[in-house]
Amino acid sequence: MNPQLQLMLQQAIQAFQGGNFDSADLILRRVLKVDSKNLPALHILGLIKASQSNYKEAADYLARAARIHPDDASIQYNLAKALADSGNDKDALAHHKKAVTLAPNNPEAWLNYGKTASNLARYEDALLSYSNALGLKPDYLEAWFNKGATLHVLRRYDEAIAQYDKVLSLKPDHYQAWFNKGADLHELKRYEEAIAHYDKALSLKPDYHEVLSNKGATLHALQRYEEAIMQYDKVLSLKPDHHEAWANKGMALKELERYDEATTHYDKALSLKPDYHEAWFNKGVTLHQLKCYDEAITHYDKALSLKPDYHEAWSNKGATLNALKRYDEAIFHYDKALSLKPDYYEAWFNKGTALNETKHYDEAITHYDKALSLKPDYQEVWANKSLLNLFLKKYQSGWADYDWRLMAKDAKFKRAIEDLEIWNGSNCKHLLVFTEQGVGDIIFYASILGIVKNRAENITVSTDAKLLPILSRSFPEITFIDKNAPLNTNLYDAQIPLATLPVIFNMTPDMNGRRVPYLEVNDEFTKTLKNNFDAIKKIKCGVAWKSINERIGKDKSLLLSDLNEIFQVDGCEFINLQYGDTQQEIQSLEKNFGTKLTTIDGIDLFNDIDGLLSIIQTCDLIITTSNVTAHLAGALGKAVLLLVPYSTGRIWYWHDETTSSWYPSITLYSQNQNFEWNDAIKAIAAKLKNEILK
């Protein structure tokens, strides 16, 4: 090198070392005009450009230097860093590998090799690189931290936590390590510990919005939704455009059944990030809960357009199609979900439900069993399988799994007395039976109360106050009390839910000791009603057409006008047995069709069930859908023509039969396979005309 170039190079190095990069840059460019292959000039210019974040230009200079001197570890290392910083991880990794091969004792080179390998999802290579760095420098905090992050990606959470513990032993105020360790504890479902670590990170960095967001997610997992919302609000106060916080707050609002608010939060998230497929999906879930099924499908389709392999969206769209009774389409979507994720137990369960609804019972059981093989504690599957077996009259199998109903997320079950043991069927002196189901089911299961007397000396049943006079009169040997009344816990030796008695006794329709009819009416009041009805010379036919069950009531109900063909049969006086606000329907029926439905004044058909029972007793015949009226009439032995759904909404004890196994006086008339009532209504009208009134 000539003396002038040597002097210029020395001046450039002095400027570079003094931080005067512009001057160094100018001098070095002059050097390269004279000597384009000047190695120090190329190397230093590469370093200057990298320090100025001009990574592509830096890589160009350093690549020229590397071609001149490929065995210079420093050049290879700096070139690898520049390539990585410019986003070219693939080429960067090759030069990192050369750098550590040439200088294997450089812990920083191993660290950066690991970072680049991790960016390329070559996680095992990354772990080896970090371990090599730590072998050379055991207190290398950044290597411990990055190794933990890589182990997190590999879902090796316990190992990741060990790395963060090492970081925190070296630097106790490393807030990112507190945060990352909290995230791993969350993944291990050690939620309370996760929150403690998030709180430590926040004590070190109060405006750390990522921690607040994760803390919200952990509180959500603990079902502490209101607290989760508070965390998301804090995130949004710091970062109003945090789309994930908007969406996650929406999810918490959904869990609180504040569906309309939830949808507005999803909309805000989507206004910030229109391609946010999770928000499209979760809004679809919320719209499903609002029974806006067509809109839900639109949102699932949008999520799938953004992420075609989104197995949850395929499955949930199937569930919405299922709710619309479009079962073949639903099954197609479940199959698509399972093709993407064969171990997706929710889709196996949901497909089983659709098969059940279409009366493919053996296939439904097979799918339930597959779901249980993947998730043995899947409560909903056990409960549905139990009900299907009971519907198929496989009583032993059905009752064996029936108590899974008590473990449902939305189950209202809780022990009547917190610490009192559950009765196992052995001899008991003082037994408390309590109810956790609706009035109709209470009446149904009451049919075996007399059998319990064989094993329990004194029985107290805590139940709905509306049933107290009926049950006390029908089972005088048993004590009945209001379920809202305080209990003297010292009076009882054991307790049991009423609907678990069939599990203890393996209940069947013809079991020894079960009798039908088994309800007794208020004789005096019934006699008064009957005297009033004696003036009616026609057949007295009681009618009920609705169920108010929140989940399946719509599937079991009709409009009063749907029954008009029955009402046109001459020779009947139709008596209103329907609870609820029915006046407008009754008036419309008379106005539009000239049909009068007689309502008994002074009896609240919802609250005065004893009065309803007396009206039923005075009728000659009952026509009803699947509601409490059907149970009352069946338990009285009254002739009943019962309208039942084809599948959805059909309770298990309304088997696929003509005469009820449980109430022999009930004749069943089912919807057709298109879920239409017309055929059943025509059949009842014909029955009235050609048999009962003949």
Q: Per-residue pLDDT for 102 more than 80? A: yes
Common-topology check for domains 1-76 and 428-505: no
Give yes or no for a contact between 170 and 139, defined as CB atoms under 8 angstroms apart.
Answer: yes
For residue 34, the model assigns a pLDDT of 84
Provide mean pLDDT across the span 629-642: 98
What average pLDDT does range 631-651 have in this prediction?
97
Name the residue among 221, 233, 229 with its Cα closest to residue 191.
Answer: 221
Which residues on neighbouring strands pair with residue 285, listed in sequence order? Answer: none
Q: Which fold has domain 1-76?
A: 1.25.40
236, HSE (Cβ side, Cα atoms, 13 Å): 19
Cβ proximity of 686 and 571 under 8 Å: no
Q: What is the pLDDT of residue 212?
A: 97
| Cβ atoms within 10 Å of 308's Cβ, excluding its own | 11
pLDDT of residue 303: 98
Q: Which of 385-389, 535-539, 635-639 is predicted with the least confidence, judged by mean pLDDT? A: 535-539
Q: Output the pLDDT for position 343.
A: 97
**What is the percentage of the chain residues whose pLDDT exceeds 70?**
98
Name the residue among 405, 395, 423 with its Cα closest to residue 551: 405
pLDDT class of 531 with cuts at 50, 70, 90:
confident
- Report the distance separating Cα 28 and Cα 96, nearest Å: 26
- pLDDT band for 491, please (50, 70, 90 cuts): very high
- Asked if residue 97 has pLDDT above 80, the reply is yes
Alpha carbon distance 254, 256 (integer Å): 5
Is 1's pLDDT higher than 80? no
Chain segment 127-167, per-residue pLDDT in tens: 999 999 999 999 999 999 999 999 999 999 999 999 999 99
pLDDT recorded at residue 665: 97
**CATH, domain 523-692, list 3.40.50.800, 3.40.50.720, 3.40.50.2000, 3.30.300.30:** 3.40.50.2000
pLDDT for res 638? 97
Provide CB contacts within 8 A for 313, sequence distance 6+.
277, 281, 284, 300, 303, 304, 307
At 157 the three-state DSSP class reads helix
**Of the listed ranges 127-131, 358-362, 409-413, 418-422, the one predicted with least confidence:** 409-413
pLDDT at 11: 87
Residue 411 has pLDDT above 60, yes or no: no
Give 410's contacts (C-beta < 8 A, 6+ positions apart).
none
Proportion of the chain above pLDDT 90, given as a percent = 84
At what angle are helices 361-374 and 379-391 packed, to 10 degrees? 160
Instruction: Tokens 């549905």: give the residue.
Output: 384
pLDDT (average), residues 518-534: 89
> Hey, what are 356's tokens?
């059940």
Residue type, 581: D
Report which residue type is found at 637: G
CA distance 668 to 677: 13
CA distances, 414 to each of 36, 222, 419, 647 (Å): 84, 19, 11, 30
Q: Tell me: pLDDT of 75 over 80.
A: yes
Q: Rounded to whole angstroms, what are the CA distances from 563 to 13, 566, 623, 627, 649?
A: 99, 5, 10, 16, 19
Which phi and psi (to 5°) does residue 373 adopt?
Answer: -65, -30
CB atoms within 10 A of CB 343: 11
List, for residues 447-485, the tens digit of each pLDDT value: 999 999 989 999 999 999 999 999 999 999 999 999 999
**What HEC string does 402-463 produce?**
HHHHHHCCCCCCCCCCCCCCECCCCCEEEEEEECCCCHHHHHHHHHHHHHHCCCEEEEEEEE
pLDDT of 31 over the 90 cut: no
Tokens of 535: 């003036």
Query: pLDDT confidence of 35, banded at 50, 70, 90?
Result: confident
pLDDT given at position 409: 61
Domain 309-407 fold is 1.25.40
Q: Is the pLDDT of residue 183 over 90?
A: yes
What is the arithmetic mean of pLDDT over 264-269? 98
Q: 443, exposed or middle or buried, with CB in 10 Å at 0-12, 13-18, 19+?
A: buried
Structure token pair of residue 658:
């003509």
At 550 the pLDDT is 82
User: Which residue type occupies 79?
Assistant: L
| Angstrom distances, CA of residue 1 to CA of 40, 67, 692 | 12, 19, 121
Hey, is 173 helix, strand or coil? coil
Domain 428-505 has CATH 3.40.50: yes
Average pLDDT over residues 409-437: 86
Residue 322: its pLDDT value, please? 95
Band of pLDDT at residue 40, cut at 50, 70 and 90? confident
Q: What is the pLDDT of residue 468?
A: 97
What pLDDT was estimated at residue 14?
A: 87
Cα 627 to chain centroid distance, Å, stands at 28
How buried is residue 563: exposed, middle or buried, by Cβ count under 10 Å (0-12/13-18/19+)? buried
pLDDT digits (tens, 9 = 90+) for 355-386: 999 999 999 999 999 999 999 999 999 999 99
pLDDT higher than threshold 60 for residue 596: yes
Tell me the pLDDT band of 225, cut-offs 50, 70 and 90.
very high
Q: Give the confidence band of 412 by pLDDT, cuts at 50, 70, 90.
A: low
Average pLDDT of the chain is 94
Per-residue model confidence (pLDDT) at position 17: 86
pLDDT at 73: 92
Domain boundaries, the chain: 1-76, 309-407, 428-505, 523-692
Task: Indicate whether 544 pLDDT > 80.
Answer: yes
Mean pLDDT of 85-99: 92
The span from the CA of 101 to the CA of 307, in Å, is 41
What does the alpha-carbon distance between residue 408 and residue 528 come to, in Å, rounded to a whole number? 45
C-alpha distances out from residue 117 to 38, 81, 98, 124, 268, Å: 32, 12, 14, 8, 37
How would residue 614 be classed by pLDDT, with cut points 50, 70 and 90?
Answer: very high
Residue 172 has pLDDT above 90, yes or no: yes
Tell me: pLDDT of 353 over 80.
Answer: yes
The 3-class SS string of 508-533 reads CCCCCCCCCCCCCCCHHHHHHHHHHH
